[in-house]
Copies of this chain bind each other. A is one copy, B any other.
Amino acid sequence: MKLAIVGTGFIGCSFARTAADHGLFAEVVGLDKHRARARKALDLGLVDAAVDRVPDDAAAVLLAPPSDQVASWVCDLADHPGVVFDVASVKQPIVKAVRHRLKSLPPRYVPSHPVCGSERSGPEEAEIDLFHDQTVILTPEPETDASATGVVQVMWRAVGAHVRTMTVEEHDRILAVTSHLPHLLSFAYMNGVEPSMLSLAGGGFRDFTRIAASSPTLWEQIFRLNKAPLMAALKACRHEIRELETAIRRDDTEAVRTLLESAANRRREFDGA
């Protein structure tokens, strides 16, 4: 069994390393548009070989390049005999772009997304068991082969993840709220902080802004690809901000406390979840 990783960055290499550690594949090969990064992954022992093309005998191909290159790879691998799955943070634009070019999705392509991004990047950051106890969302479409979905499910479970299935629309709408909007807010907020203030910022600031150190290239793509759901989420959030602001401006102690309590309760629900 051979696994091919397209994009030997943080997520791709974390999967490679974990899969090797769990003995899921006899061989893992890596491919990257930036050949130095594939070599780096090889030097670090994360892949067994750095290759220039996806080998035909790969049983599985993990697509972990920048999000806006996934659709093109799915099309290029339409006739590949292995299962093809990705890790992109957006799903509908990929599915649309592939359908636009090929009319329908390749049946052995299973859209997937592990919900465990990080502000880290690069093979040197690869983390074993990154996916342990994390959620992976699969968004198979009508064209998707059920057995391919099954194989991808098994692989994610084998590296310790919980698998959830939903539609691409649902995925993109939810991720806009739970992931993309916090990034947008954190980036925007950070731009308003004067450098001289940084030495006076504490632990709350550190956590709130951790994601503002994420890759600008990667996030520019996600914002662009998931624009409509993200703008809808921002609109709803602006309404929540306005509501809290109004209560504060009016010195409406009860209203402010009620809003903060509902937020704190929901956050505690998350910790309990």
Chain A interface (Cβ < 8 Å from any Cβ of B): 115-119, 134-135, 137, 164, 174-175, 177-179, 181-195, 197-217, 219-220, 223-224, 227, 230-231, 233-234, 236-241, 243-245, 248-249, 251, 253, 256-257, 259-264, 266-271, 273
Alpha-carbon separation in the docked complex, A179 to B204 (Å): 7
Roughly how many angstroms separate A115 CA and B205 CA in the complex, as a whole number?
Answer: 10
With A253-B220, A253-B224, A267-B213: A259-B203 Cβ-Cβ less than 8 Å = no
Q: Which single member of B179, B187, B260, B264 contacts A259 (CB below 8 Å)?
A: B187
Can you list 19 contacts pairing A with B, beta carbon distance less than 8 Å? A116-B202, A134-B202, A164-B200, A175-B200, A178-B200, A179-B202, A185-B208, A187-B259, A190-B263, A191-B262, A192-B233, A201-B270, A204-B214, A212-B267, A213-B267, A216-B260, A220-B257, A224-B251, A227-B251
Determine which of B198, B210, B223, B230 lies in contact with A269 in the assembled complex, contact meaning CB atoms within 8 Å: B198
Shortest Cβ gap from A220 to chain B (Å): 5
User: Are A201 and B115 in contact, CB atoms less than 8 angstroms apart?
Assistant: yes
Give the complex CA separation of A270 and B190 in angstroms.
10
Please tell me if the beta carbons of A178 and B207 are within 8 angstroms of each other in the complex. Answer: no
CB distance from A171 to the nearest CB of B (A): 9
Residues of B close to A197: CB separation below 8 A = 174, 177-178
Q: Which B residues touch A230, using CB under 8 A? A: 248
Task: Check if A182 sits within 8 Å of B209, measured CB to CB.
Answer: yes
User: Are B210 and A207 closer than 8 Å at their CB atoms?
Assistant: yes
In the complex, the chain B residue whose C-beta lies closest to that of A211 is B204
Nearest residue (CB) in B for A270 is: B198
Bound-state Cα–Cα, A260 to B119, Å: 13
Instruction: Please state if B237 and A189 are interface contacts (CB–CB under 8 Å).
Output: yes
Q: Which residues of B contact A210 (CB under 8 A)?
A: 204, 207-208, 267
Q: Determine how close the nearest CB of chain B comes to the CB of A166; give it in whole angstroms.
A: 9
CA distance A230 to B251 in the complex (A): 13
Which residues of B have CB within 8 Å of A189? 181-182, 185, 237, 240-241
Q: Is the CB of B214 within 8 A of A202?
A: no
Bound together, the chains give a CA A224 to CA B224 distance in angstroms of 38
* B245 pairs with A190, CB closer than 8 A: no
Picked from B194, B244, B266, the residue with its CB within 8 Å of the CB of A195 is B266
Give the residue name and chain of the B residue nearest to A137 (CB).
B200
